[in-house]
Amino acid sequence: QCVLAGKWTNDLGSNMTINPMSSKCNFDGSYNTSVSDTSNKITESPLVGSQNCTNQPWPVFGFTVNWDFADSVSVFTGQCFVDEEGKEILKTTWLQRLHVDSIKDDWKATRVGFNNFTRLLSKE
Ligand code: BTN
């Protein structure tokens, strides 16, 4: 059984916290990226998302990160799996929309990539 709530880290070293899901399968949280396209100081940014509500043990989900320190937005979609060792993994695909000054630059304004997240074991 996969539960999205908690702290996660990805293959880039970014960390995120997902808060417990609402009764309608919506959630919010925060995202601390390890990398940025900008030279701005990275700050923790809010995320909002939802999990598919049909009662699957390995649910699919999506969330949006609205970057506080950059004029871009990223959306992630993925599925939670439990591997053979019982370790939870979130397999995600993301799209990042960058701001461009002109419609002529629209063609280069979207990036796509993949991130795997594993649960961050709390040291608290
Ligand atoms: C920006 O530089 O415009 C904002 C930060 C973007 C970070 C991206 S989102 C997809 C990828 N996965 C991460 O954890 N960080 C980068």
Which of 41, 47, 74, 90, when mutated, tests ligand 1's pocket best, judged by the most ligand atoms within 8 Å of its CB?
Answer: 74
- Helix, strand, coil distribution of the chain in percent, nearest 5: 5, 50, 45
| Pocket of ligand 1 from Cβ distances under 6 Å | 10, 12, 14, 33, 35-38, 67, 70, 72, 74, 94, 96, 113, 115
pLDDT tens digits for range 84-114: 999 999 999 999 999 999 999 999 999 999 9
CATH code, 89 = 2.40.128.30
- Return d(Cα 95, Cα 73) in angstroms, integer: 8
Q: How much is the pLDDT for 121?
A: 84
The domain tally of the chain equals 1
Q: What share of the chain in percent tops pLDDT 90?
A: 93
Average pLDDT over residues 47-52: 98
pTM: 0.95
Q: Domain range for residue 31? A: 6-119
